[in-house]
Chains A and B, each alone.
Chain A
Amino acid sequence: MKAPFSPYLAGIAPCMKQLVNDLGRDYDYVSVLSTDSVGFTVVISQHNKAVSNSNMTTERGNVVRVRRNGLYSEYAFNQVQPDQADRMADQIRRALEAQMALLEQTGSGVYSTGPVQDDPITLFVEKETGTLPEKADIQGLIDLLTRVSDQGMQADPGMLECSVNARSTHISKMFLTANRDMRQSYVYSEASIMNAAANQDGENRMVYEGISACAGPEIFEGLLDKGLEINEKTRKVMEAGHVVPGEYDIITDPGISGLIAHEAFGHGVEMDMFVKNRALGKDYIGKRVGSDLVTMHEGALCADSVTAFAFDDEGTLAGDVTEIDHGILKTGICDALSAVRLGIRPTGNGKRENFAHKAYTRMTNTVFDSGEDSLEDMIASIDYGYLLEGTESGMEDPKHWGIQCIMARGYEIEHGKLTGKVVAPVIMTGYVPDLLGSISMASRDRRVDGNGACGKGYKEWVKVADGGPYLKMKARLG
């Protein structure tokens, strides 16, 4: 079935168009993004059960963007009087004028920016989905997650907790300007399982993994099988030791490959950072940043994931950008305003945490291309090293190309074979071109994960997905 567009947004569309018209008398560009996204969160653990109709992407509200004298300003609100667009316009003018008065008092100049693209587009997209979150069988889901949690407790005698978290959102967004009327709706779902156990030394060990897709809550049926996988990993991690700090040959599983893609040349080529001269990538366009095996794509069209939208939060159509082609950095990703400042076309990467937040250049799907190797051959090629899996966190450093990835587990490889020994956790640091330059093998298979959320610095959390094949490289572990 198709995910139906929000009747609420359809209802306020005439008012919002009137608002665009009214403000258009005072500003030379006006847009409105209106959102109405509904969903749920169900959390089941051994010690608590919780149901909510909220999650990080549920929202209902509006943000107006206007431009005058080269300055873009925004007003975010969620009280709409459908028959009083003129009063709302007055309120917005007054609020923004008050800010202008302060800027005048403080003698602040403006970073002047030209007009954004506003060529006519009419778009109405209702993506295919299964069950809608608002129609989900919550009772059945609670029962399923309870079984998954109970199954998780069987993983090891040291199990303390198995927490299962399922979220699903039916997103509806409407973008209006004088020339554009763009409307989209789609559904994405994600779930995670966290096994927590104490080993014989009393140390707590965690195994956390998830599933996600641009689909309805029907994907949660796969959680029991996923739980069995996680149970097996939990047993292995219980006897984990610590890695001896040093440089190793490593193989990254698709999840860690995705983490590296995200941190290295996801954040590294967000072009709002180019505007501020905060990214080294700006000076490396056309230059080598990785081995010949490194080809990387970014865009909402790259994978049918949690962030597979039809247009972004600034009314730019979704894209598929080849960032790195056989080791050569080709281009970055860009929001609408940064595109104007850089004199290029936006790539469909202007995203907001929600309607009340500013749009920045943000990632969607960031993915390494597959290679021609098998995982077995990759393991066989290593004399001593580790197969790494389990994303815990990562941090970008676009200015200096440092990289930090914290991974849950490393499986020891010796003389071309997995030994069964595990180290946990593992911190990988290094210099991005060295890391990508050392990639010497890539597997044929590929996976894209979308369970994480990404911040800009330490704020502005949005859904992203990333992935790739198994990759062999050299890295510093600690």
Chain B
Amino acid sequence: MDRQAYLDQIESMIRGLDQDGYEITDEHTRGWEFYFIRHELDQNRVKDVDRLEITLYKKSEDGQFLGSATGEIPEGLGRDEILKALQDLLFQATLVRNPVYSLNQPDSCAPAPQESEPIDLAEIAGSYIRAMKQVPETAAEDINSYEIFVNELTTTFRNSEGIRIRSRRPSSMIEVVANARRDGHEIELYRNYKSGTCDSDKLVRDLTETLRCGRDKLEAGPTPKLGTATVILSTEAAVSLYEYFLYQMHAMLKLRGLSTWELDRPIAEDVIGDRITIRAVTELPNSSENRLFDEEGARITDKYLLTGNIPRSFWGPRQFSQYLGLEESFIVHNFVVSGGSRSAADLRKGDYLELLEFSDFQADPMTGDIAGEIRLGYWHHDGKVDVVSGGSVSGSLKDYLKEMYISEETVQYNSAVIPAVTRLQNVTITGVKDPD
């Protein structure tokens, strides 16, 4: 049976139930994957997978509460089994009591979603494979292995309020491990790039820089016990800093009291550095998250969330947004952090520790605590530059945001545009050796 006819059949069965609302989300993934060791194919894979998820809603008798239950309808069920699964979901929905809220309504002003042509998986995968062969390897620096994932995601969303959306988008990822070696000592660097399709030039350019970092890492000495230092972040690790700002604007964190930020009130007092502006956007060039509607059928628009450290709009799923009284809210996927007033070159003045590689750099979206083991950094001091590794950075972004400087230049990492350079003052550094 044609998939849309199958969904029609299921929607008809749902309408026959005593429910007070429903959402149907059907996603088809068509994927090609290639796994390489050096440049030899280790394994190839094809993925052809459907996933159908239903949420049923049921109001309490007094109308004060709305229950819901979500379930995946596995492939291969017969009509009676599907009906039983739906009845079970409906029963479970009666057990759940959340304050009442409403589902998204069709947006008459929204552009009609157009289903694009099928994605050419072979072309995208071929671009990745060819790009990897262009990376300028040498005997001392080369590619260890890489894994290519190219997906076409076709999504159908329907709800009881009349929303009907069908969209298709590419989503790709390549994971690359690079090596550098000298005198019997070998190091590795890890990269993971997500995007819509393959941007060959960007990939080759970045991996060329990665190999250069590998050469430097071979020369790295232990990070000195600096106590505190000015830290510069200029890689994708900095995205998690800005995600802290983004998630402090999330309706669920606000509702739970995990964000104390208030609309139109500065998020911190006595700020002497740059202030942060974040805008949600519908599309970014080649982002894997480009879409006109969110997972609940809400229209995504370009919207300022934070301007100059002042919250302008919280965001999030329909339920929590309504609890906060938010209008026209949606789930943010792409966001842009505005650049600051100084150049990246200006921010790289004085003594500072520029950190390029971490084992895993994290900024906790609920507490603002940051932490990361240093795998490669450049300690600029007294007119010299030492390449360093080991030790860690830690502290709280709540403290650091009071004197945080960001470059006017920005850079895109898939679904996020952030300042190319972020400078934090007085960051706690747990070093490995005593300073010279």
Check if B39 sits within 8 Å of A108, measured CB to CB: yes
Q: Which of B380-436 contact A (CB under 8 A)?
A: 390-394, 396, 398, 428-432
A477 to B432, CA, bound (A): 11
Tell me which of B152-160, B288-296, B358-366 binds A.
Answer: B358-366
Q: Which of A207-254 contact B (CB under 8 A)?
A: 242, 245-246
What count of chain A residues pass the 8 Å CB interface test? 83
Q: Which of A14-64 contact B (CB under 8 A)?
A: 36, 45-54, 58, 60-61
B-chain residues with CB within 8 Å of residue A47 when the two chains form the complex: 252, 255-256, 320, 323
Interface centre among A73, A108, A397 (most CB of B within 10 A): A108
Q: Mark B130-152, 1 if CB is under 8 A from A, else 0.
A: 10010000000000110000000
- Distance between B158 CB and nearest chain A CB, rounded to angstroms: 19
Check if A245 sits within 8 Å of B373, measured CB to CB: no
A76-B45 in contact given A142-B96, A402-B375 (Cβ < 8 Å)? yes
- Distance between B130 CB and nearest chain A CB, rounded to angstroms: 6
B-chain residues with CB within 8 Å of residue A98 when the two chains form the complex: 122
Chain B, residue nearest A277 (CB): B144
Q: Mark A91-125, 1 if CB is under 8 A from B, else 0.
A: 01001101111110110111101000000000000
User: A51: which of B92, B252, B258 is its contact (CB, 8 Å)?
Assistant: B92
Check if B76 sits within 8 Å of A478, measured CB to CB: no
Check if A478 sits within 8 Å of B394, measured CB to CB: yes
Check if B37 sits within 8 Å of A203, measured CB to CB: no
Check if A204 sits within 8 Å of B319, measured CB to CB: no
Q: Mark A182-226, 1 if CB is under 8 A from B, else 0.
A: 000000000000001010001111100000000000000000000
User: A58: which of B29, B42, B72, B256 is its contact (CB, 8 Å)?
Assistant: B72
Tell me which of A77-85, A320-328, A369-377, A463-471 binds B.
Answer: A77-85
Say yes or no for B49: interface residue by CB 8 A criterion: yes
Q: Mark A396-434, 1 if CB is under 8 A from B, else 0.
A: 110110111010000000000000000001010100000
Tell me which of B109-117, B184-192, B279-287, B327-335 binds A.
Answer: B184-192
Say yes or no for A358: interface residue by CB 8 A criterion: yes
Check if A79 sits within 8 Å of B48, measured CB to CB: yes
Say yes or no for A157: interface residue by CB 8 A criterion: no
User: B373: which of A36, A358, A404 is its contact (CB, 8 Å)?
Assistant: A404
Tell me which of B15-23, B63-71, B163-171, B346-354 binds A.
Answer: B63-71
Chain B, residue nearest A398 (CB): B188
Say yes or no for B40: interface residue by CB 8 A criterion: yes
A103 to B231, CA, bound (A): 44
Q: Which of B176-190 contact A (CB under 8 A)?
A: 177, 186-188, 190
The SS class assigned to the B binding surface is strand
A108-B391 in contact given A98-B122, A139-B95 (Cβ < 8 Å)? no
Check if A161 sits within 8 Å of B258, measured CB to CB: yes
Say yes or no for B266: interface residue by CB 8 A criterion: no
B-chain residues with CB within 8 Å of residue A71 when the two chains form the complex: 41, 43-44
A111 to B37, CA, bound (A): 7
Q: Which of B70-95 contact A (CB under 8 A)?
A: 70-72, 74-76, 85, 88-89, 92-93, 95
Say yes or no for B209: interface residue by CB 8 A criterion: no
A48 to B321, CA, bound (A): 13
Say yes or no for A275: interface residue by CB 8 A criterion: yes
A332 to B273, CA, bound (A): 50
A-chain residues with CB within 8 Å of residue B394 when the two chains form the complex: 245, 427, 478
Question: What band does the interface of chain B fall in when counting residues whose beta carbon is under 8 Å from A?
Answer: 35 or more
Say yes or no for B243: interface residue by CB 8 A criterion: no
A478-B43 in contact given A47-B256, A196-B256, A406-B371 (Cβ < 8 Å)? no
Say yes or no for B219: interface residue by CB 8 A criterion: no
Say yes or no for B369: interface residue by CB 8 A criterion: yes
User: A245: which of B53, B145, B319, B428 is its contact (CB, 8 Å)?
Assistant: B428
Check if B43 sits within 8 Å of A78, measured CB to CB: no
Say yes or no for B302: interface residue by CB 8 A criterion: no
Check if B391 sits within 8 Å of A75, measured CB to CB: no
Check if B144 sits within 8 Å of A429, measured CB to CB: no
B-chain residues with CB within 8 Å of residue A206 when the two chains form the complex: 366-367
A75-B371 in contact given A54-B72, A58-B72 (Cβ < 8 Å)? no
Say yes or no for B125: interface residue by CB 8 A criterion: yes
Chain A, residue nearest B319 (CB): A48
Q: Mark A158-169, 1 if CB is under 8 A from B, else 0.
A: 001100000000
User: B145: which of A92, A99, A202, A278 is its contact (CB, 8 Å)?
Assistant: A278
Check if A50 sits within 8 Å of B68, measured CB to CB: yes
Check if A52 sits within 8 Å of B69, measured CB to CB: yes
Chain A, residue nearest B175 (CB): A457
Chain B, residue nearest A198 (CB): B257
A-chain residues with CB within 8 Å of residue B391 when the two chains form the complex: 429, 476, 478
Given contacts A478-B391, A478-B393, 12 further A-B contacts (CB under 8 A): A53-B85, A61-B49, A109-B41, A161-B258, A204-B258, A204-B366, A204-B367, A278-B177, A358-B33, A393-B362, A399-B187, A457-B192
Jot down 16 A-B pairs with beta carbons below 8 A, ordered by A.
A48-B319, A48-B320, A50-B70, A73-B44, A79-B75, A103-B34, A109-B39, A111-B36, A203-B396, A245-B430, A356-B31, A395-B360, A399-B188, A402-B359, A459-B173, A476-B430
The 7 closest A-B pairs by CB, nearest first: A478-B430, A245-B430, A404-B373, A53-B71, A395-B360, A111-B40, A160-B257
